[in-house]
Structure 1
């Protein structure tokens, strides 16, 4: 195709007008593309929403007879009442792939226990909290060499890869090193179940995990595990997450409003008693400022 300057039959003024017209057409096409559409409207039209969940995080979400169950699953059913006629297509996704998968558009929304951190809040849109996520340590029952968090200095510890609980453990290790001695290695696991198995087998000495997860674990396996007090990190919260863009804003609001309604009505407290055996006071009016 000849260069525009070589098109003797087309005056320059007409060529400029054609360029302007093409720019308008391109802009109109871009504005109507899926990237600029409203995600919630699209979901209602398709009558399906794809949810990403890490079903390896009891009692929040886990597999039972091939079905995803738990606290978050029950809470999701309450929120989904605001999406009548929309089918829930819930995928079980390993934790390291959850947030990258959301960014890549593999699913519409993340319904799993995502700790609200500053770094994540810059990239993702969070709902109001679903539970507290403050981090503590768990050890083997009867291990008298660990009576307080500082006693993990010189010991092997573990947590989940890419998790806020791992980040809290690493920060606590830095604090210990500043005082003279840090831990003797941190092992990262794909799932917490793997970390608990290594702890039980004596391959590591402690695991960092949210206290809200550890309490039910110790209740069920009090013969094997014991919580080490006090907590090792600042007060943090779990929330669900969507993409942080204008197209996703209405969907994030629908989920956030649904969680807030469950909180205000007392339904959230009922579910917490069912799955944890205790209740957690979490904000219902806004996403709290991240503390880590």
Structure 2
């Protein structure tokens, strides 16, 4: 073989090899590709939101933790680096690319959905009202006129509470006397128990397990406040995160369809809830 022909064959062989590698190289350029290549994913959580996630013996446990473990079976060789952060820092940190995805109970609302990408729903997030069981003065949302009510800073439950306050005033009432904001719901529960609050606005899904853990202390109003809403996990709304978001959504959808989600709900909430297979457009 003459030198010129040998040189031409070398060029063609190299071009074919580069062309064959191009799809995998392009895939490795997105977030999921880098996660697989680096064999590590960084996940942010607020582990003070039982029974969705909380710390037990130094380990983050709960409904979301078990569901996440199920989803991540599709990435068996990837190590999970999980950060426990205040809720108020989760979405700003995701925006700043300090971690890859947020796996915690985040209520889907219009403002968040405009800026971030959500997985399919993981649970019902509709807001309920927690009171002291000994307080018979609050029988429905209208009885929150003139009361001191708490919720978590930055939460959709706080948003629902503020909307209720506006509605009470528009109906001619004095509205809620004071809305107190907390870094975490545990602090609001403690203040309610000792009488520094009259009520707490929190998702109904969280309140059932709380009643069982503190028998005789709290009660839940039969009526919810605000529209139907759902919890989901959150990724950045860009092409780089699209494949990772799909992997998580597909895993959640599979858990919903094969009965795993219902089993985890029974385990952590003591009951099941209807969770749609796709994410409805937020109404709040």
- TM-score normalised to structure 1 length: 0.87
Give yes or no for contact 1:138–1:207 (8 Å, CA) kept in 2: yes
| In structure 2, distance between residues paired with 1:92 and 1:66 | 11
List per-residue Cα deviations over 1:138-175 (Å, max 9, x = no partner).
Answer: 00112011111110100101000000000000000000
Residue 269 (1) aligns with residue 262 (2): yes
| In structure 1, distance between residues paired with 2:51 and 2:84 | 15
Could you say what the CA RMSD is over the residues aligned between the two structures, in angstroms? Answer: 1.1
Three-state SS of the structure 2 residue aligned to 1:41 is helix
1:28 aligned partner: none
Which of 224, 228, 233 is residue 235 of structure 1 equivalent to? 228
Which of 34, 57, 65 is residue 57 of structure 2 equivalent to? 65
1:88 aligned partner: 80
Which of 136, 150, 158 is residue 158 of structure 1 equivalent to? 150
| In structure 1, distance between residues paired with 2:273 and 2:147 | 32
Which of 169, 175, 180 is residue 167 of structure 2 equivalent to? 175
Which of 201, 208, 217 is residue 210 of structure 2 equivalent to? 217
- TM-score normalised to structure 2 length: 0.89
Q: Which runs of 5+ in 1 are unaligned?
A: 1-33
Give yes or no for contact 1:199–1:206 (8 Å, CA) kept in 2: yes
Give yes or no for contact 1:110–1:242 (8 Å, CA) kept in 2: yes
2:5 aligned partner: none
Give yes or no for contact 1:141–1:222 (8 Å, CA) kept in 2: no
1:4 aligned partner: none
| In structure 2, distance between residues paired with 1:88 and 1:46 | 11
How far the C-alpha of 1:59 sits from its partner, in A, is 0.2
Three-state SS of the structure 2 residue aligned to 1:122 is helix
| In structure 2, distance between residues paired with 1:219 and 1:122 | 37
Residue 124 (1) aligns with residue 133 (2): no
Structure 1 segments, 4+ long, off by >6 Å, are: none
| In structure 1, distance between residues paired with 2:29 and 2:153 | 34
| In structure 2, distance between residues paired with 1:281 and 1:179 | 33
Residue 51 (1) aligns with residue 43 (2): yes
1:203 aligned partner: 196
How far the C-alpha of 1:220 sits from its partner, in A, is 1.5
| In structure 2, distance between residues paired with 1:107 and 1:63 | 20
How far the C-alpha of 1:37 sits from its partner, in A, is 3.1
1:146 aligned partner: 138
| In structure 1, distance between residues paired with 2:145 and 2:157 | 17
How far the C-alpha of 1:226 sits from its partner, in A, is 0.3
Three-state SS of the structure 2 residue aligned to 1:81 is helix
1:109 aligned partner: 101
Aligned residues: 257
